Amino acid sequence: MSEIRIASRYAKSLFDSALAQSALEAVVADVQNLNQIVAESRDFVLFLSSPLLKQDIKKTALGKILGGMNVLTRDLILLMNSKKREMYVPSMLQAFLTLYNKHQGITQAIVTSAVALTPASLSQIESYILTQSGANQVQLSQVVNPAVVGGLTIEFEGRILDKTVAGHIRTLKKELQLA
């Protein structure tokens, strides 16, 4: 079974349990904290994926790390440990946040441009994404990439809107080749 399928099943189980027990916000906070630890600590990810460490050692360490977290979050990650699937925890966290965002009507978008955009421009982009996606809210991330040269790209819900100079040139080349 693929990593994505495994992680998605655990994430769905955690999401459904949290929703049923009215603990969704607490579990979301736990997941966001763990996701931040994964992003900032390569050692934690190596710890989770190391086949050299025994399951008992991992279980003890995870129990201490997860001590102050919601019972649902802690129990699921310890279950993943007992099933020797703790290496999928980072993917499970991402899958859980995706489920939560979908449930809340939140769409995530990435805007890439050559220079930092003004708040007014970002607001217009956010409005565009809201109308195109039908979401309630947009979490917009901005990436500055000088290689873009001019224009911008917007990525959301599996779509990419390419309004860069290079994108226009590629489009023109394709049209000229067809003519």
117 and 95 in one domain?
A: no
Q: Are residues 115 and 165 in the same domain?
A: yes
Q: Are residues 94 and 119 in the same domain?
A: no
Confidence at 168, pLDDT banded by 50, 70, 90: confident
* Residues 54 and 15 placed together within one structural domain of the fold: yes
Do 110 and 159 belong to one domain?
A: yes
Q: Are residues 56 and 136 in the same domain?
A: no
Q: 69 with 30: CB under 8 angstroms? A: yes
- pLDDT score, position 1: 67
Note whether 149 and 114 are within 8 A (CB). yes
Q: Does residue 27 have a pLDDT over 70?
A: yes
pLDDT tens for 99-148 read: 999 999 889 899 999 888 899 999 999 999 988 888 889 989 899 988 88
Q: Which domain holds residue 149?
A: 105-178
Integer Cα distance of 30 and 74 in angstroms? 9
**Do 24 and 91 reside in the same domain of the chain?**
yes
> Coil, strand or helix: which one is 130?
helix
Please give the model's pTM, rounded to 2 decimal places.
0.77
| Distance from chain centroid for Cα 10 | 15
85 in Cβ contact with 130 (< 8 Å): no
Q: At what angle do helices 89-104 and 71-82 cross, to 10 degrees?
A: 140
- The verdict on 29 and 77 lying in the same domain is yes
The domain total for the chain is 2
**Count of residues in the chain:** 179
Residue (of 31, 37, 40) closest to 7 by Cα position: 31
| Final residue of a structural domain among 35, 69, 102 | 102
How far apart are alpha carbons 173 and 179 in whole angstroms?
10
